[in-house]
Structure 1
Amino acid sequence: MPTPENPDLERDPAKDRAAGSTPKEAVRERSAEERSITSPTPADVRAKAEEHGAPEPPAADSQAP
């Protein structure tokens, strides 16, 4: 639905949360994925991954079935 501020804007009421009774107070909530936002991996998580290295492959069975 176009708004007075932006007549070309299409709004999805399912994703809007009304903060009040007037359209000017409506707040649009979108997920980080919808906004194309990615969060960097924290340094401590990267360091821990580097400490462990690549995981060991599973050991092969010593006897065939």
Structure 2
Amino acid sequence: MEIHDELEIEIFHTLEKIRRVESIIRKHLEAKSEDLIVNQYYSLKKELSQQLADLLSSATNAKVQIAA
């Protein structure tokens, strides 16, 4: 699958960022890290999810919401 549109590229980059943040959250939960650290990553995931929703809304011309 070739991606030519800048918006599509941004969507895939945002998805990859969310995947990495989820991986980091899992590692911190397994390591029983401080709640502050875990909460910061949850906050980052929420921001990235909103960014993804905005990008998808632009791409589809429809309102998209993502539960994070």
Structure (1 or 2) with the larger CA radius of gyration: 1
Q: With CA pairs under 8 Å and 6+ residues apart, which has the higher RCO, 1 or 2?
A: 2
Q: TM-score, normalised by structure 2?
A: 0.21
Is the strand fraction higher in 1 or 2? 1
TM-score normalised per structure 1: 0.22
